[in-house]
């Protein structure tokens, strides 16, 4: 049974950096099969995949075009977790952010974190 536990602040001002962490239990961030993803949801944009990190003898990242210039997803093997950083946020980045596990890197998300509501407001 895999469990993902999210943490991080929920209120930001425009131009700040969003930082969230997803702690993994029941699997390893260094798994050679799984991929570790961030997905967000808002009324205006629906569900939107942001990016992923995964390990295949070395670390790889893929990012959505819409956020590619501002996003960074990084693993932390010492704590078995991964993080999301999104720079220069605007009110358009307001939404619920989820971490999610893709167990075989086949692009489906079998396990999700509890979600973090992030509000960007001055």
Residue 110 lies near another protein (rule: CB under 8 A): yes
Residue 37's Cβ-side half-sphere holds a number of Cα atoms within 13 Å equal to 23
**Pick from 119, 118, 114: nearest CA to 23:** 114
Residues in the chain: 122
The answer to whether 115 and 4 have CB atoms below 8 angstroms apart is: no
Q: Which stretch binds another protein (CB under 8 A): 14-22, 69-77, 86-94, 108-116?
A: 108-116
Q: Whole-number minimum distance, CB 22 to another protein, in Å? A: 12
Residue 91 phi, psi dihedral angles, 5° rounding? -55, -25
For another protein, the closer CB: 62 or 76:
62
For another protein, the closer CB: 8 or 16:
8
Residue 59 lies near another protein (rule: CB under 8 A): no
The rounded Cα 74 to chain-centroid distance in angstroms is 9
Residues from 25 through 54 that contact another protein (CB under 8 A): 46-49
Binding site for another protein (CB under 8 A): 46-49, 62, 64-65, 98, 106-110, 112-115
């Amino acid at each position: 049974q895999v469990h993902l536990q999210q943490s991080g602040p929920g209120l930001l001002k425009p131009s700040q950096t969003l930082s969230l962490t997803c702690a993994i239990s029941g699997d390893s961030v260094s798994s050679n099969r799984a991929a570790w993803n961030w997905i967000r949801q808002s009324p205006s944009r629906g569900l939107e995949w942001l990016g992923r990190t995964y390990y295949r003898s070395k670390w790889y990242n893929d990012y959505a075009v819409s956020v590619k210039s501002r996003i960074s997803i990084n693993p932390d093997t010492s704590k078995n977790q991964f993080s999301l950083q999104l720079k220069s946020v605007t009110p358009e980045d307001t939404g619920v952010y989820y971490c999610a596990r893709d167990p075989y890197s086949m692009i489906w998300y079998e396990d999700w974190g509890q979600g973090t509501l992030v509000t960007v407001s001055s």
